[in-house]
Amino acid sequence: MKTLADRKRALLQADREAALAEKRRQLRELGAHDLVRQLDDDSTSWRQSPWYKPGADPSGVFVDMVGEELRAAMADLGASAARLDSVRVVTTLDQAVSAQMTPFDDGSGLVIVADGIFGMCSSYCQYLALCADKRSHATSRPTAFWRLLRDLGKGEVFGYEDVLTALLRYHTAHQRALAVSMQLGVRLSPEGERYAAQLGHLAYRFVVGHEMAHHVLGHSHGPSAFAPGEHLPACSADDRRERDADRLAFQATRRASDRQSHSRWETMVMLERATMAALMAMMALHVAERTLFVHRGCTHPPAAVRTGWLLEQLKPGKQRSTRRLLRVPMKATEAATDLSEHARPFSWQALDPDLVFSPMPRSYLEAVGDLDALQCETEDFHVAWLERHATADTAWLGEGARLAAAGEPASALRRWGVDEETSHALCNPQRALTFFTLKEHITRSFNERGIAEPWLAPHALAAGMLIARRVQPRRAPLAQGPDGRPAQEPPAPNSSPG
């Protein structure tokens, strides 16, 4: 018998086919012919691989495998067989979802994880692999050795903060502006590649494990208007639930590694890696939730709080050394979520080509930097930008900007040509909204009113920032506050996934 979760999963898989076709079209339009060729090559080798199943794509098969590993691990840890049997896992290209568990009326549950989250986790893991590569290299080269000593002297076991920040900002700038998930490549040794892939697998296991844990632990909300038979995502502002889900996910991630290890040494190494991977996964979710959304329906607590919970499960000595390891990744995470005038926007020119690479043309990479820089300007700058570009025929551009800055975002949207109902919906803090969706509505109106490229994209971005700034709740800082805990954002009641 098919459960409601099975049915929803089948629908999402069908959407995925269409979304992949759309992604290829976008990439062709962006001139990323190398990347399209790479996708074609990937799908050819996928069809020849032993895991190939007609109608399935590699990420679907991978997520099924991760789901099975977790099911076995959670059964070992004493989870109810009935709960484990009724949970399904699926991936989506939809950027309006980060990771969530949706409970259904028939008792089944569906874990949905966006591809973008996997991409973000893998950026963190590639960064860790880069650091590991450089450390092993340092023992053979004097210059690298001195650099390592300098970093260690600063108490920073990992250096390359700027590289990690750039990897993350490249990713989020794409998701905000284009709703596509794009990554830079990191130059790794073959050993580093294997290390990064293994960490990525573990990080993904933690992300899926957290959502599965909500189902296994029986966390669900009351019925909602989201869709008949479906309830709100189980992630909530309830700290205790989140903490319990994190704890079970962490234990299951480590348990699954334990099952696959063949020696005590291997077990020790795998446990160490599973810990780092879980911490990277938390940071990836933190970045996605802080940058993709204007307001979020479903949310996880800030990474600093979750990191504290997770570290509590380690021995005191291990806690201290892990905290030290986290210093640079935490700083880069903070820098990646900064969209204020103090941010350091993505800059391809500033990156060391010996460390990162991209199949995209240079002009494209520089344009991503310009776009990131534009979104990090001040409110005054964005108003002045739209006023400066307004002509006698498009005076409404500047008028809307002034309305937004005066604290009337819905009127600003109306002035820019967005219909009344949509304008109000976009400004409703109780609805989940991604920055891209907001920007898309503005782009459409501007386009209908005769604004064309090359101005359409920057104008819509400036306008989107003016609205987002006025309708989004204050961002909780990643760093700990004076009371030792970051301030929590207020929960969004009656919110629904976007």
For residue 308, the minimal CB distance to Zn ion (Å) is 16
Q: Which two tokens stand for residue 146?
A: 């001195």
Range in contact with Zn ion (rule: CB under 5 A) among 56-64, 149-157, 233-241, 448-456: 233-241
Strand partners, 295: 433
For residue 245, the minimal CB distance to Zn ion (Å) is 5
Residue 209 or residue 400: which is nearer to Zn ion going by CB? 209
Range in contact with Zn ion (rule: CB under 5 A) among 146-154, 232-240, 431-439, 489-497: 232-240
Range in contact with Zn ion (rule: CB under 5 A) among 195-203, 228-236, 252-260, 344-352: 228-236
Per-residue interface string for the shown chain with Zn ion, residues 242-261, x marking contact by CB under 5 A: x--x----------------
For residue 306, the minimal CB distance to Zn ion (Å) is 9
Residues 464-493 close enough to bind Zn ion by CB under 5 A: none
Residue 135 or residue 241: which is nearer to Zn ion going by CB? 241
Q: What is the CA radius of gyration of the chain?
A: 23
Measured CA to CA, the distance from residue 11 to residue 16 in angstroms comes to: 9
**Minimal CA–CA distance to 363: which of 36, 32, 26, 24?**
32
Helix-then-strand count for the chain, H and E: 19, 9
Range in contact with Zn ion (rule: CB under 5 A) among 54-62, 121-129, 181-189, 237-245: 237-245
For residue 491, the minimal CB distance to Zn ion (Å) is 13
Range in contact with Zn ion (rule: CB under 5 A) among 70-78, 201-209, 240-248, 429-437: 240-248
**Minimal CA–CA distance to 176: which of 496, 497, 361, 442?**
442
Residue 111 or residue 235: which is nearer to Zn ion going by CB? 235
For residue 300, the minimal CB distance to Zn ion (Å) is 5
Measured CA to CA, the distance from residue 382 to residue 464 in angstroms comes to: 10
For residue 301, the minimal CB distance to Zn ion (Å) is 8
Cβ partners under 8 Å of residue 497, min gap 6 = 96, 97, 100, 102, 226, 232, 233, 297, 298, 432
Cβ partners under 8 Å of residue 445, min gap 6 = 416, 417, 418
For residue 224, the minimal CB distance to Zn ion (Å) is 17
Secondary structure of residue 347 in the 3-state scheme: coil
For residue 296, the minimal CB distance to Zn ion (Å) is 12
Residue 137 or residue 247: which is nearer to Zn ion going by CB? 247
Residue 246 or residue 372: which is nearer to Zn ion going by CB? 246
Range in contact with Zn ion (rule: CB under 5 A) among 53-61, 104-112, 238-246, 482-490: 238-246
DSSP per position, 146-190: HHHHHHHHTT-SS--HHHHHHHHHHHHHHHHHHS-----EE---H
Based on the shown chain and the rule CB under 5 A, indicate whether residue 374 belongs to the binding site for Zn ion: no
Residues 311-340 close enough to bind Zn ion by CB under 5 A: none
Residue 132 contacts residue 276 (beta carbons within 8 Å): no
Q: Which two tokens stand for residue 382?
A: 């964005």
Cβ partners under 8 Å of residue 36, min gap 6 = 24, 27, 28
Residue 212 or residue 235: which is nearer to Zn ion going by CB? 235
For residue 108, the minimal CB distance to Zn ion (Å) is 18
Residue 89 contacts residue 67 (beta carbons within 8 Å): yes
Strand partners, 89: 111
**Minimal CA–CA distance to 215: which of 381, 5, 382, 459?**
5
Per-residue interface string for the shown chain with Zn ion, residues 271-310, x marking contact by CB under 5 A: ----------------------------------------
Residue 181 or residue 236: which is nearer to Zn ion going by CB? 236
How many Cβ atoms are within 10 Å of 118's Cβ, its own excluded?
23
Residue 213 or residue 276: which is nearer to Zn ion going by CB? 213
For residue 233, the minimal CB distance to Zn ion (Å) is 8
**Minimal CA–CA distance to 401: which of 46, 388, 87, 393?**
388
- Candidate residues 113, 114, 186, 235; the one interacting with Zn ion per rule CB under 5 A: 235
Residue 151 or residue 242: which is nearer to Zn ion going by CB? 242
Q: Which two tokens stand for residue 482?
A: 């004076």
| AA letter at 208 | V
Residue 105 or residue 239: which is nearer to Zn ion going by CB? 239
Strand partners, 293: 434
Residue 88 or residue 219: which is nearer to Zn ion going by CB? 219
Per-residue interface string for the shown chain with Zn ion, residues 392-411, x marking contact by CB under 5 A: --------------------
- Categorise residue 351: left if φ over 0, alpha if ψ from -120 to 50, beta otherwise: beta
Residue 213 or residue 336: which is nearer to Zn ion going by CB? 213
CB-nearest residue to Zn ion: 235
For residue 113, the minimal CB distance to Zn ion (Å) is 12
Residue 235 or residue 252: which is nearer to Zn ion going by CB? 235
Tell me how many residues contact Zn ion (CB under 5 A): 3
Range in contact with Zn ion (rule: CB under 5 A) among 236-244, 329-337, 388-396, 398-406: 236-244
Q: Which two tokens stand for residue 88?
A: 């399904």
What is the separation, in whole angstroms, between the first and last Cα of the chain? 29
**Minimal CA–CA distance to 183: which of 138, 93, 242, 121?**
121
Range in contact with Zn ion (rule: CB under 5 A) among 161-169, 234-242, 285-293, 456-464: 234-242
Residue 378 contacts residue 388 (beta carbons within 8 Å): no
Q: Which residues are at the interface with Zn ion (CB under 5 A)? A: 235, 242, 245
